[in-house]
Amino acid sequence: MVPHNDPTPSPATAPSVLVVEDEVLVRTNVAEYLRACGYRVLEANDADEAILILRNVDDIDIVFTDVQMPGSLDGFGLAQWVRRERPRIRVIITSGVARVSKDAAELCQEGPLLAKPYDHRELDRRIRWLLATR
């Protein structure tokens, strides 16, 4: 997919997105797209790895996480951790399971559930909206 034509920020000032997804092909695909849109992207295989990154990197703006992942926490547990420990970071949750939308709405007031399969352009729009409304 080709990113939109909006001007992209310089790497030093680019917003950063942590993509948390255990399916490697899905994660690398969305990470490549977001990099092409001008974001600085970090990647984590699961919530445990994401928390390690979040504890060591101060300038993450958005966490984009799948719900179903291996490890000690799922995407909801990660979202709860982010709300408690790093409340300025916005969270977007994605899932292929329809029933999770109510739980996601409770964790993320901005209505950030993105149902799978999602359009990468919609993810970019959602990220830009969350950044603009901070």
As a CATH number, domain 16-132 is 3.40.50.2300
Average the pLDDT over 108-133 and give the result. 78
Q: Decide: helix, strand or coil at residue 21.
A: coil
Is the entire prediction scored with pTM above 0.85? no
Residue 45 near residue 13, CB atoms below 8 Å? no
Task: Tell me what the pLDDT averaged over the chain comes to.
Answer: 83
Q: What is the pLDDT of residues 44-80, one digit of tens each?
A: 999 999 999 999 999 999 999 998 889 899 998 999 9
Tokens 């909801």 belong to residue: 76
Pairing type for strands 62-66 and 114-115 reads: unpaired
Q: What is the DSSP letter of 96?
A: S
> Quick one: pLDDT band at residue 11, thresholds 50, 70, 90?
low
Tokens 């970090």 belong to residue: 42
